[in-house]
């Protein structure tokens, strides 16, 4: 079994910053891509940022130049640094990872339980 646990969600004023960590644990041989998604009420879940094992990153246009994704491969942890937060960033933020549990197994996607980020105007 693989578990992903996010933390760091909070209520913050517009213009503020938050850092969300997410740690993967359990039976893990390797982790390919890791990413952050978010879902606001009434909206579909959307990709916020993604990072490969080698460190290549992808961002949603709405967060470019404000958010930074990074990872610590030794600790199976991915981070999302969020700066210049806006009320429209309010959502539940989910961590995801593509994990191989054994050397020759097919990678599967795993999700965290989500952490609430609320940005007040």
What is the rounded CA–CA span in Å between residue 115 and residue 118? Answer: 10
43-96 residue pLDDT tens: 999 999 999 999 999 999 999 999 999 999 999 999 999 999 999 999 999 999
What is the rounded CA–CA span in Å between residue 104 and residue 120? Answer: 47
Question: Once rounded to an integer, what is the mean pLDDT over residues 98-113?
Answer: 95
Question: Once rounded to an integer, what is the mean pLDDT over residues 95-103?
Answer: 96
Supply the mean pLDDT for the chain.
Answer: 97
* 73, 31 contact by CB (below 8 A): yes
In the chain the first and final C-alpha atoms are separated, in Å, by: 40
- pLDDT for 47 equals 98
* 96, 34 contact by CB (below 8 A): yes
Confidence of residue 121 (pLDDT cuts 50, 70, 90): very high
């Amino acid at each position: 079994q693989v578990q992903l646990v996010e933390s760091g969600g909070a209520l913050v004023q517009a213009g503020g910053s938050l850092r969300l960590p997410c740690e993967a644990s359990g039976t893990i041989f390797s982790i390919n891509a890791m990413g952050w998604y978010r879902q606001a009420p009434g909206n579909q879940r959307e990709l916020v940022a993604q990072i490969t094992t080698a460190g290549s990153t992808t961002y949603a246009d709405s967060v470019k130049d404000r958010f930074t994704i990074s990872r610590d491969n030794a600790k199976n942890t991915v981070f999302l640094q969020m700066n210049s937060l806006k009320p429209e960033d309010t959502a539940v933020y989910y961590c995801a990872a593509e994990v191989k549990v054994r050397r020759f197994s097919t990678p599967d996607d795993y999700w965290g339980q989500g952490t609430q980020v609320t940005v007040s105007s």
